[in-house]
Amino acid sequence: LIEYKLLIDAPDNKGLMYKILGVLLEHNISIDKNDEFVDIENNKFFMRTEFNSDISRDIILDNLNSKLNDTSINIKLIEKKKKNIIVMATKEAHVLGELLIRHYDGKLDANILAVISNYDDLRSLVEKFDIPYFNIEANNLNRTDHEKLVLDKLDEFNFDYIVLAKYMRILTPTFVEAYNHKIINIHHSFLPAFIGANPYKQAFNRGVKIIGATAHFVTNDLDEGPIIYQDITNVNHTHNWKDMQKAGQDIEKIVLAKALNLALEDRIFIYGNKTITF
Amino acid sequence: LIEYKLLIDAPDNKGLMYKILGVLLEHNISIDKNDEFVDIENNKFFMRTEFNSDISRDIILDNLNSKLNDTSINIKLIEKKKKNIIVMATKEAHVLGELLIRHYDGKLDANILAVISNYDDLRSLVEKFDIPYFNIEANNLNRTDHEKLVLDKLDEFNFDYIVLAKYMRILTPTFVEAYNHKIINIHHSFLPAFIGANPYKQAFNRGVKIIGATAHFVTNDLDEGPIIYQDITNVNHTHNWKDMQKAGQDIEKIVLAKALNLALEDRIFIYGNKTITF
Amino acid sequence: LIEYKLLIDAPDNKGLMYKILGVLLEHNISIDKNDEFVDIENNKFFMRTEFNSDISRDIILDNLNSKLNDTSINIKLIEKKKKNIIVMATKEAHVLGELLIRHYDGKLDANILAVISNYDDLRSLVEKFDIPYFNIEANNLNRTDHEKLVLDKLDEFNFDYIVLAKYMRILTPTFVEAYNHKIINIHHSFLPAFIGANPYKQAFNRGVKIIGATAHFVTNDLDEGPIIYQDITNVNHTHNWKDMQKAGQDIEKIVLAKALNLALEDRIFIYGNKTITF
Amino acid sequence: LIEYKLLIDAPDNKGLMYKILGVLLEHNISIDKNDEFVDIENNKFFMRTEFNSDISRDIILDNLNSKLNDTSINIKLIEKKKKNIIVMATKEAHVLGELLIRHYDGKLDANILAVISNYDDLRSLVEKFDIPYFNIEANNLNRTDHEKLVLDKLDEFNFDYIVLAKYMRILTPTFVEAYNHKIINIHHSFLPAFIGANPYKQAFNRGVKIIGATAHFVTNDLDEGPIIYQDITNVNHTHNWKDMQKAGQDIEKIVLAKALNLALEDRIFIYGNKTITF
């Protein structure tokens, strides 16, 4: 039996769901889990269905395409298999470490093909887990030249997502466009608060009573991409910005890990600048 | 246009959803919102669908019954209309007050037909809002005799739910059976912790660092009914049990109000000793 | 016995606490609760102490002043008594209703002297609780002229705090300066996100997964004043902005009530653009 | 300069704090952080003070003892130094992995001297971090004999705390008494709910809407020891018990790590069956 996930988004249409179920029924498919969302204002339909079948992906997909027969309908039929990811990091170990431990522990349904960093600090941690580590230093290079080296390295791999585990360099539009909707970042604030550098210092200076973290897809507008998941923790006047950072790091790593799991389980639709997460 | 909610639970069956959608399609119905859940282990299917139609309830329901044609399938087709509730309370004003303000403010999609209490303390609050208040004192009465008076009073009204807004008397099986799955209670702990009397004192004595509240349907087993909603707040060593109570009361009232809204919007399936809340 | 709260802030100084305790000991005072905070970076000391004594405020305060004898030390010795507040609102009932119910229920340690609104919508609610309601309409008035009327009305009362319970008009610097550090506002977002108008629409458009509310003192910079308390709740793709508003309103009212309680219990130091809350 | 923490608990006494500060002042000590709590009902005083000084621990402590001069006063003066811990685990990697990563990353202010397990599963993870791993199997041994082997192994080390990172064996009173108030456990429920085995199955069967984790000191009564820290996460009807476990594991590891940090920073007073955590 093959485990399938069927993701469909389309203009909303009275008979659409009925037709989709009709096709699945033709193949004698029983649905294990089904989620739907209709954006009524914009007349947009989203559906994610899990089922098992011994029928091949091509047969089911061909049948769906021929019965639905409408180019405005996006159909993705995904066979369950372990996805591949590349992790990019800089110097901080907590988010990367979280991914490595989950990977080791079988809690991350992905292969970590490589870790790329602009420093060498994290090499010993990564190599403990027998994962290739590439230090691509940015010293003396302009942004474009450094990114060229990173892009060349990425070209050596076949992966589904790039995970920015506190990668502290801004990506150029070229880079982002090359991996559109494939780059997941963790930002250390509850966006849209504290965009940009040093969010914990910003939070401390503003005197907030909560801090947070936001996992989002990366788009050209810094810290403006579709949000996947957010969480917060309480702080108070006894926290200086270093204490806020310490408290926030526990949130950062869990938020990123949860967002990544949603992506790995094909639970996310990107819809304009937002996400629908089933 | 009539606003409908269709709630179906049934043994899971490959073609079931398809058949249901087929009937709706026959009536040219467009679905606004659809939630499903399949308990795979127990082969049980739950569906809640929202739609608008100018076709009468009888026609749609007859068609569903005839097409589905299986007595193991439970079909509820509900026309949107304001539900009626009776609130029962004792002496504490915070949960009752929350309901009264929401009712006044149009945030509670229900008519409060009456408030019944075993004391007279809350009369002035209730009567401010021009809602009938019945003080049915328990003095010198045994439990059965007191409940008889309450049941007689309830018989005067036609209501959908009884809401126990800190009603501090235990209900007999007779009472509970008379209104099976129609009584919603707020218990002032995160059940199943601190069943029974004085949960805040229990919590204080145990030295917990969180306290909470639980809204649940009332069944014969005290504090054992299906849980609808729960929430918590943090406490620490500086809280004595009175401080815990004070902190907890904010949780109690919001938890009950949210659970009640779920009931009023027909979002709850009771399934064994649990709830499915869409 | 008089219940006292002693609040002292001063440049940090090795012997300061010892001296303060020495004075209290002279008067045979036993401390019930003591909180301290030292901002080491800025060398600033904050202390809040609760005690009971039958000695008069003047005697203790004179002794403190003479022993500490330093104009850079701010000493407030507060006798416990019910504070007076004025509530200002516009049309929304939920925050005001929360305050009215708490006031009725003895959970708000304050007298609500009056409610002032720029509309008449909330009159019937307020008058149920026998609290004076003043509708000061802004129609055909410029901001200054309208505020003049409000300021004149405020002059009739002797109060400790103005509580903005969803008062939807911007206050001028004149107004804010007149009641510096005495105006508490509830903003319907987790500041500094979504400053300004329609934060729920802003939140919806940004696609956030959490929404929140912030209680703060009002300063001339809109939504920039010292934050007292914040809380959040989770939202998702099924929430349109109206749903976010509905979910957020439960947070708004509790956050404001908690912040107000901190103020009423003299638990807040305003320190630059931040608060220290004991 | 030596970093000190001074922890004092004593019967509450009017002049006590004054005397303590007097001693510190004699040594020209400036206080960086001071927390106090008075349990008024039981007339008990707790104080934790942080300061730096170049005066030796013996001198300060002798002076405190001679000035306070009362055997009912417990005085602990602790020089900051890295504490030593032993971690005990069984087969699950997530809590242990959290500790190992924090240890590696300098976020755990302790040396992990060894990991002891009743299985060999976690050896490869632990040895990556060059920490000794001892597999003391329980096969064919009764509880006492197995514990004897563990106790013998523990005797080889000089440590401050034993951390049970999902060690799934019950400890005998002999073991617990040998390390009274030195064993910290993580229980996978929000205690006192779901004491004993399989709390996630219990939670699933009860149909709760929140699950949690509790870090506590181990006493002879299983899962009844003083609670240090608790946290929760939301679940719903779509979570089977395995999903609850998966969601709960993120809470477990963070809760244990936070509780352990409180212990390592000497922030905990054990007070009867409760903790005071500053």
Per DSSP bridges, beta strands C83-89 and C110-117 are parallel
Mutate to test the interface with C, among D6, D13, D21, D36 (most CBs of C within 10 A): D21
Q: How far is CA B254 from CA A254, C166, C250, D6, in A?
A: 28, 19, 7, 42
Mean pLDDT, chain B, integer: 96
Q: Is A254 on the interface with D (CB under 8 A)?
A: yes
Dump pLDDT digits (tens) for C219-267: 987 788 999 999 999 999 999 999 999 999 999 999 999 999 999 999 9
Residue pair C39/C90 in contact by the 8 Å Cβ criterion: no
Q: What was the pLDDT predicted at C197?
A: 87
pLDDT digits (tens, 9 = 90+) for C190-227: 999 999 889 999 999 999 999 999 999 999 877 889 99
D neighbours by CB contacts (3+ pairs under 8 Å):
A, B, C
As a whole number, the mean pLDDT across chain D is 96
Separation of alpha carbons B102 and A246, rounded Å: 41
Give the pLDDT confidence score for residue A193 in this predicted structure. Answer: 94
Of B18, B34, B38, nearest to A22 by CB-CB distance is B18
pLDDT at position D216, please? Answer: 98
Q: Is the peptide bond before C11 cis (omega within 30 degrees of 0)?
A: no
Average pLDDT over residues A121-135: 98
Q: Which two tokens stand for residue A249?
A: 């790091």
Within 8 A of D258 by CB-CB distance, chain A residues are: 250
What single-letter amino acid sits at A111? N
At residue B46 the predicted structure's pLDDT band, cuts being 50, 70 and 90, is very high
Neighboring chain B residues of C250 at a CB cutoff of 8 Å: 254, 257-258
Q: What is the pLDDT of residue A207?
A: 97
What integer pLDDT is reported at residue A223 of this predicted model? Answer: 83
For residue D222, pLDDT over 80 is answered with no
Q: Residue A271 phi/psi, 5° resolution?
A: -135, 100
Average confidence (pLDDT) over C158-182: 96
Please spell the DSSP secondary structure of D103-137, one letter per residue: HHTT-S-EEEEEEEESSSTTHHHHHHTT--EEE--
Whether the per-residue pLDDT at A222 is higher than 90: the answer is: no
* Structure tokens given for D39: 């349990």
Q: How confident is the model at residue C28 (pLDDT cuts 50, 70, 90)?
A: very high
Active site members of A: 223
Mean pLDDT of D259-273: 97
Q: Give the distance, in angstroms, between the CA of residue C93 and the centroid of all CA atoms in the same chain.
A: 19
* CA distances (Å), origin C173, targets B56, B218, C220, D109, D231: 59, 55, 5, 49, 43
User: Which stretch of DSSP H or E encloses residue B185?
Assistant: strand B183-187
Alpha-carbon Rg of chain D, whole angstroms? 21
Backbone dihedral angles phi then psi of residue D236, each to the nearest 5 degrees: -150, -170
Instruction: Please give the pLDDT value at position A24.
Output: 98
Instruction: Give the angle subtended at the CA of B77 by the CAs of B74 and B79, to the nearest 5°.
Output: 155
CA distance B35 to D233: 23
Q: What is the DSSP string of C125-153?
A: HHHHTT--EEE---TT--HHHHHHHHHHH
DSSP-assigned beta bridge partners for residue B6: B49, B77
Residue C262: partners with Cβ closer than 8 Å, 6 or more residues away: C228, C229, C268, C277
Q: How confident is the model at residue C113 (pLDDT cuts 50, 70, 90)?
A: very high
Q: Which positions ≥6 away from D203 have C-beta within 8 Å?
A: D189, D193, D194, D211, D235, D241, D244
pLDDT at position B196, please?
86
| Chain C environment of A274 (Cβ under 8 Å) | 207, 237
Q: How many CB pairs under 8 A join A and B?
A: 45
Per-residue model confidence as pLDDT tens digits over B81-101: 999 999 999 999 999 999 999
Separation CA D222–CA D185 (nearest Å): 11
Give the tens place of pLDDT for each residue, C39-79.
999 999 999 999 999 999 999 999 999 999 999 999 999 99
Q: What pLDDT, on a 0 to 100 scale, did the predictor assign at position C196?
A: 86
List of chains touching B (3+ CB pairs within 8 A): A, C, D
pLDDT at A220 over 90: no
pLDDT the model gives residue A70: 92
* pLDDT on residue D197: 87
Residues 6+ apart with CB under 8 A from A81: none
Strand runs labelled E in chain C: 2-11, 31-39, 44-53, 74-79, 83-89, 110-117, 133-135, 161-164, 183-187, 210-217, 227-234, 268-271, 274-277
The CA distance from B90 to the nearest CA of chain A, in Å, is 35
Q: Smallest Cβ distance to C104: which of B105, B125, B254? A: B125
What values do phi and psi take at D118, rounded to 5? -90, 5
Contact C93 B104 (CB under 8 A): yes
Q: Tell me if chain B has a CB within 8 Å of the CB of D271.
A: yes
Specify the pLDDT at position B223.
83
What was the pLDDT predicted at A264? 98
Q: What is the pTM of this model?
A: 0.97
pLDDT at residue number C184: 98
Q: Is D273 in the B-facing interface, judged by CB distances under 8 Å?
A: yes
Contact check, Cβ <8 Å, B277/D231? no
Give the residue from C184, C164, C121, C172 showing the smallest Cα distance to C148.
C172
- Is the preceding omega at residue D226 within 30 degrees of 0, hence cis? no
Q: Is D118 on the interface with B (CB under 8 A)?
A: no
Banded model confidence at residue D192, pLDDT cuts 50, 70, 90: very high
> How high is the mean pLDDT of chain C?
96
3-state helix, strand, coil in chain A (%, to 5): 35, 30, 35
How do residues A240-278 score in pLDDT, each as one tens digit?
999 999 999 999 999 999 999 999 999 999 999 999 999
Whether the predicted pLDDT of B222 surpasses 80: no
Residue C208 to residue A227, Cβ atoms within 8 A: yes
Q: Which residues are registered as beta bridge partners of D269?
A: D276
Interval C6-32 mean pLDDT:
96
B229 at D interface, C-beta within 8 A: yes
Instruction: Say which of D107, D125, D250 has its CB closest to residue A104.
Output: D125
- Identify which of B37, B193, B232 has the shortest CB distance to residue D192: B193
A67-89 average pLDDT score: 96
Q: What tokens does C260 get?
A: 């107000």
Q: What's the mean pLDDT in A91-100?
A: 98
Distance of CA A226 to the CA centre of its chain: 10
Please list every residue in chain C whose beta carbon sits closer than 8 Å to the beta carbon of residue D15. 25
Mutation target for A interface from B8, B13, B20, B36: give the one with most A CBs within 10 A.
B36
B30 and A12: CB-CB below 8 Å?
A: yes
Burial of D172 (0-12, 13-18, 19+ CB in 10 A): middle
Residues of D in contact with C36 (CB under 8 A): 33-36
Which of C25, C32, C40 is the closest to D40 by Cβ? Answer: C32
Asked if pLDDT for residue D221 goes beyond 90, the answer is no
Sign of the CA dihedral running A180, A181, A184, A190: positive
Check CB contact of C78 with chain B, cutoff 8 Å: no
Name the percent of chain C lying above pLDDT 70: 100
What contacts 24+ positions apart, CB below 8 Å, involve B150-158?
A: B150/B88, B150/B116, B150/B175, B151/B175, B151/B178, B153/B114, B153/B116, B154/B86, B154/B116, B154/B179, B157/B84, B157/B86, B157/B113, B157/B114, B158/B84
Helix (H) or strand (E) holding D178: helix D173-178
- Give tens-digit pLDDT for A16-45: 999 999 999 999 999 999 999 999 999 999
- Per-residue pLDDT tens for B158-209? 999 999 999 999 999 999 999 999 999 999 999 999 998 899 999 999 999 9
pLDDT of residue A196: 86
Minimal C-alpha gap between A48 and chain B (Å): 12
Sign of CA dihedral C183, C186, C190, C196: negative
CA atoms within 13 A on the CB side of B174: 8
- Say yes or no: B193 contacts chain D, CB-CB below 8 A: yes
Q: In what order do the strands lie in the sheet with D83-89?
A: D133-135, D110-117, D83-89, D161-164, D183-187, D210-217, D227-234
ipTM of the complex: 0.96
Decide if pLDDT at C108 tops 90.
yes
Contacts of the segment B147-156: beta carbons below 8 A, 24+ positions apart: B147/B171, B147/B172, B147/B174, B147/B175, B150/B88, B150/B116, B150/B175, B151/B175, B151/B178, B153/B114, B153/B116, B154/B86, B154/B116, B154/B179
Q: Reply yes or no on whether the pLDDT at D114 is more than 80.
A: yes
Residues with Cβ < 8 Å from C69, sequence gap 6 or more? none
pLDDT of residue C21 exceeding 80: yes
The end-to-end CA distance of chain A, in Å, is 23
Q: Coil, strand or helix: which one is A163?
A: strand
The amino acid occupying position B244 is M
Question: Residues C121-128: what's their mean pLDDT?
Answer: 98
Please give the single-letter amino acid code of residue C114: A
Secondary element (H or E) of residue D11:
strand D2-11
Cis peptide bond upstream of C192, omega within 30? yes
pLDDT band at D131 (very low <50, low <70, confident <90, very high): very high
* Residue C17 confidence class, pLDDT cut points 50, 70, 90: very high
Rounded to whole angstroms, the Cα distance separating D205 from D241 reads: 8
Which residues is C52 bridged to in the sheet? C3
D103: Cβ–Cβ under 8 A, 6 or more apart, which residues?
Answer: D110, D112, D129, D131
A75 CB near a chain D CB, below 8 Å?
no
Looking at every residue in chain A, the average pLDDT score rounds to: 96
The whole-number pLDDT of residue C222 equals 75
Q: How far is CA A135 from CA A99, A123, A157, A169, in A?
A: 18, 8, 16, 14
DSSP H helices, C113-233, are 123-128, 143-155, 173-178, 199-206
| Mutation for B interface: A3, A17, A47, A238, most B CBs within 10 A | A17
Residue of A98, B277, A7 whose CA lies nearest to D239: B277
pLDDT confidence of C36, banded at 50, 70, 90?
very high
* D196 pLDDT higher than 90: no
- Contact (Cβ atoms closer than 8 angstroms) between residue D88 and residue D55: no
Catalytic choice (C58, C70, C223, C250): C223
Model confidence band, residue A97 (pLDDT cutoffs 50, 70, 90): very high
